[in-house]
Amino acid sequence: MTSNGKTALITGGGRGIGLAIGKRLANEGYDIAVGDIHDESDVKQALNGLRDLGAEVLYCRADVTDAAARAEMLAAVKRNFGRLNVLVNNAGIAPRVRADILEAAEQSFEEVMRVNLQGPYFLTQAVANWMIEQRRAADEFEGCIINIGSISAVVASPSRGEYCISKAGVSMATKLWAARLGEFGIPVYEIRPGIIATDMTSKVRDKYDKLIAEGLLVQSRWGQPDDVGKAAAMLARGDIAYATGQVVSVDGGLTLQRL
């Protein structure tokens, strides 16, 4: 694939949904910066796979909850590529223990909120300011921000309340950043995945297999990371550029109201 001269930063890009997005964007000609918490040797195969697709790849080991690590990650992207066109806020965690909200620990709430909402919010702040600089320097600059949310923003799961609240916050953050960045021509979107086959959902595979078999979804199958990757590629290309602030649900019809 010939480079399109653009760069995408994907947090949590070493596996799962983030890696699938990276592959799709690499196929579109993007160079890829992967931000993740794992040692680089643990994601070497994934990074090489992106390189095999023609992308120049930079790995940044960074915890999105750490302000200094976020700043160094962006500095590394700037040193290596000199530009950033797409930010994908994908890094996220589920509670370490699923607990009824009558009993859930405050520590779990704080951890999930910092990873899923606070870190991405302030990473977006830093990236947005850089994108504004790039836009002011060149009228032809094209940028966008994509937040990976969840159906849990609108579907209540009392056994993981902190996760639901964090993703509801991501949804509002999308609207806020879309409203603020509109004057600079930088669209902001939310992709809202449903039941996707990833490490996060592997522990509840049997539960969702049963629910899917019983008709939970309109499209009766597990979602795959590449289903989300395709949606991200569409947004990065600007296929719906006149739709900033909108949600793209990739959930097999789970949230479709039915009688």
Q: Which structure tokens are listed for 27?
A: 């196929």
- Pairwise CA distance, residues 45 & 15, whole Å: 10
- The torsion angles phi and psi of 95, rounded to 5 degrees, stand at -55, 145
- Residue 59 is among the residues annotated as catalytic for this protein: no
Residue with tokens 């993703």: 167
- Pairwise CA distance, residues 248 & 256, whole Å: 13
- Pairwise CA distance, residues 22 & 3, whole Å: 14
Q: Burial code of 139-159, b = ≥16 C-beta within 10 A, e = fewer?
A: eebbbbbbbbbbbbbeeeeee
* Cα distances (Å, whole numbers) of residue 53 to 20, 81, 168, 203: 12, 18, 34, 31
Please report, for the chain, how many H helices and E strands are present, in that order: 9, 7
- Among residues 65, 6, 5, which one has the least CA distance to residue 35? 65
The three-state secondary structure class of 103 is: coil
Query: Among the options 30, 59, 121, 163, which is catalytic?
Result: 163
- Among residues 83, 14, 77, which one has the least CA distance to residue 49? 14
The three-state secondary structure class of 177 is: helix
Catalytic residues: 163
